[in-house]
A and B are shown apart, each in its own frame.
Chain A
Amino acid sequence: MKKVLIPMIALLVGLVTLAGYFLPTQLGPTLTIIIGAGILLMSAAGLIGIGYLLHMHIMKLVHKERGGFFSLIVLLFFLVALIAGLVLPPGSAFYRDLILGVQIPIEAALLGVLAVVLLVASLKLIRTRGWTPLSIGFLSSALLSFVFDLGLLHAEPGTLSAELLDFLRGLPWLGARGIILGMALGGLIVGLRVLFMIDRPYGEE
């Protein structure tokens, strides 16, 4: 019974949602309930996920495992953010500065480290991959994009050189279309597999 009931729920909800693309007005009220319930369910699932994270770090502290100091740091700053967020009024400037004052420097610095890592990777690009069509296209397109980025190449509109530059500037978009079409086809197949109960990401008995 469980094996049939649970996948049938997914199929039923999925079909109603898909039908909303074709019958938006007729299924409007139903869809608002279904979608609204889904959004609230996602929020509750997010809180449960945060609970799992805290549970893991608490167990690390209780069992005195390696890395317990960092688990203590996580729990400490979690409590600070939670208590401050619930106590302080919404839109508090201090709370905004507290959160963004930590997130922006850390995330931006991580991007800075990424920039250095990309420099090192570009030095070893051909040595690692070799001279393949993919690497040649990659290298030439990257160089061209950087050159265009700097604005070093420009031509008067309406001239042949402008047309050529536009063509070169648009070359990456040709492959991009193929990539996004491939991604859309992949998403379509995965969605159909879930609806037709071939794949069951919600678990099986």
Chain B
Amino acid sequence: MIICPECGTENPPDSERCLNCNALLTERALEEHIEEQPDHEESLDLLSQGDHDLPDLLHALKQDGELPGVEGEQEDLSSEDVVASFSLSELEEIQPDEETEEPGESPVVKPDQMPEWLQRIRQRAKEETDSIGEITQKIQAAQESLVEDKSSQRHEDYSSFLENLGETFPTNDLEAVPIKEVVKDKDHALEEDQEPDWLERIRKAEGKLGENEDAANAGNRDGDSLLQWLVALEDGTLKPPTADVEQIEESLQLEDSTQELPGYDDSSFGQAATQEIHVVEPGLQAPPLLEVSKEEQSQADQLSATIADETAVRPIHRRRRAKAPWVLRLILGVILITVLSFGLFTGAPVKSNLTTLKPHQQGLLSWAEALSPDASVLVIFDYQAGFADEITLIAQPVLDLIIKPGREIAILTSSPSGMLLADRLLNEVIGTEDIILRDLGFVPSASLIAYSLASPVTSEIFPLELEAGDFDGVLILSDTFEDAVVWIEQFSARIPSIPVNCLVTAQAGPLLAPYWESGQITGMVSGISEAHQLEAVMGESTLVAYRWRAYRFGIFMMIAMLVIGATIADEGKREDEGWGGA
């Protein structure tokens, strides 16, 4: 097609003059040949609009009869003839490349007869070398910038997305293609300026399209793209779609890939290999579907059952532990020390009222009193330094009975501090100036030396120079049951005829009593209470009596703690913890 340079009318290729304005169709018009594009009409319309103004104006002038120098009837003249009559020569000057093939046919208009508007056109044409081309270039540049702006958007709008699809439809570089005219759905015969049906449905569902609103007039709205809509749906900023969304999703090929088995319903869960689970997300009425296998569902059920079991309310025994346990300990310690100090430093010594000794105490006394003047006694010091004061309180009355001038006292120790304690007890407390003292020393193992002592043969390696028959009795000073039992077992097993007596602390007394009952021990005194009785009976020392009041206060305090503890106990019976074991 040949475009008329004057009016922009499309003329057949073989025409020499414009059908509308009868302007000559020169080579320039041939170079402006464009392909037949419906979108081009828009830009062409823009051009043609302006170009159409001139023929209308000329037409108006023709009707008014103001066109001079135009031969022939003016009514029959085209706009081209009018223009050519006025400015054909000037046009030739403006368009020097153009050749007029028929110069003779155009009417000639004298300059003095030119209207004012034509003069202005001519003036502008003189001043601007290519006014028409400049206009075209400006329009093209504006459209190109518009295209660039659209493509720089983060979410391509529908039109640019469609423009990308329109790569198969080549466009004129100078003329932009109308956006809504680019896409052509082959399945659907879209008319000019009409959107696809599925897009129209989406927009209706989105609510951006009114009921009476025509999809063609919706235009290219900002943020109105399919991608934007899908993104908004994912973000949850979009309202839940209506029921029609399901149809839309189906059309968008979002159908579930699972196939429903015949007769399937919610009650028959577990029978199918897979199951559709509607994952409900907040804000959505139609949750997306999720495939879960039978094994996974059973595992999930087990997990939920375990969680329910773990979080179930159980009668748990909670131990109330004080945040600062040392506070109670400190308070009770201060009270105890205060009470003991009060008992120690106030009042006179308290003597025991009991004048009758217990059988095991009496047995010890009887043995001690029955010793001959030249008796030999083995005294075993087998206690730790911490119990020295208590052993001293217990042993002093008995040692006073035993250690007499002329008697031989053999000292043996199996505890590390025994030698020093024996030295302290015998030298400082009792005094051993006229006593034969045999220090047998220290032996690291009580059981081995007891076994060796009971042997009838003197040891060659460990010559203690002491045999079983060398002593008339054994006095064991011990702080624990285990240490005393070692000596008792060996002596009673190897030399049962030797009397064995024990002076032990209160903690060893209850467990050593059966040995007295069985006759393995002749006599025994254990603890301060029995020493208090012994002291009262023997009537010599007042060491225990001096401490008795404080001791009594301490015992009362312990009794009170036991009673209070039993009273405030709020724990129920506990199950037996099972069997004990040896």
Contact = CB atoms under 8 A, between A and B. Distances in A.
A21 B494 contact: yes
A164 B332 CA distance: 35
Given A24-B456, A103-B385, A127-B568, A96 B424 contact: yes
Interface residues of A, number: 72
A108 B420 contact: no
Contacts of A183: 582
B352 A151 contact: yes
A189 B582 CA distance: 10
A32 B388 contact: no
Q: Is the interface of B mostly helix, strand, loop or mixed?
A: helix
Contacts of A38: 445, 448
Nearest to A138: B562
Interface in B495-535: 506, 510-511, 513-515, 517, 527, 529, 532-533
B573 interface: yes
A33 B461 contact: yes
A176 B459 contact: no
16 contacts: A20-B451, A24-B456, A33-B460, A35-B455, A39-B444, A104-B388, A104-B389, A119-B557, A120-B332, A126-B571, A132-B576, A149-B555, A151-B529, A154-B353, A173-B514, A179-B511
A186 interface: yes
Given A117-B329, A129-B574, A173-B517, A24 B494 contact: yes
B20 interface: no
Interface in A85-132: 91, 96, 99-100, 103-104, 106-108, 110-111, 113, 115-120, 122-132
Interface in B562-582: 562-566, 568-574, 576, 582
B417 interface: yes
A17 B534 CA distance: 41
Contact of A35 (B352, B452, B511, B571): B452
Interface residues of B, number: 73
Interface in A1-44: 17, 20-21, 24-25, 28-29, 31-33, 35-40, 42-43
Contacts of B571: 126-128, 130-131
Contacts of A91: 423
B135 interface: no
Contact of B558 (A103, A117, A118): A118
A110 B386 contact: yes
Interface in B375-400: 384-389
Given A103-B417, A126-B566, A127-B565, A119 B332 contact: yes
Interface string B415-449: 00100110110000000000000000001110011
A147 B558 CA distance: 11
A32 B460 contact: yes
Contact of B333 (A96, A116, A128, A149): A116
Interface in B90-120: none
Contacts of A151: 352-354, 529, 532-533
B483 to A, nearest CB: 14
Contacts, number: 199
A38 B459 CA distance: 12
B410 interface: no
B138 interface: no
A113 B329 CA distance: 9
Nearest to B481: A180
A182 B423 contact: no
Contacts of A111: 386-387
B552 A122 contact: no
A84 interface: no
Contacts of A122: 558, 561-562, 565
B194 interface: no
A33 B463 CA distance: 10
A150 B576 CA distance: 33
Given A35-B448, A36-B462, A177-B514, 16 more contacts: A32-B459, A32-B460, A35-B452, A39-B448, A39-B452, A39-B462, A104-B389, A120-B329, A122-B562, A123-B565, A147-B559, A150-B529, A151-B352, A173-B510, A176-B514, A186-B582
A143 interface: yes
Q: Is the interface of A mostly helix, strand, loop or mixed?
A: helix
Contacts of A177: 514, 517
B493 interface: yes
Given A119-B332, A126-B565, A142-B562, A43 B423 contact: no
A131 B572 CA distance: 7
B370 interface: no
A104 B569 CA distance: 38
Contacts of A43: 444
A108 B389 CA distance: 9
A172 interface: yes
Contacts of A173: 510, 513-514, 517
A36 B462 CA distance: 5
Contact of B555 (A129, A139, A150, A170): A150
Nearest to A21: B493
Interface string A175-197: 01101101101100100000000
A175 B407 CA distance: 39
Contact of A104 (B386, B448, B462, B570): B386
B461 A139 contact: no
B561 A123 contact: yes
B582 to A, nearest CB: 4
Contact of A28 (B319, B457, B568): B457
A150 B552 contact: yes
A178 B462 CA distance: 37
B386 to A, nearest CB: 3
A119 B460 contact: no
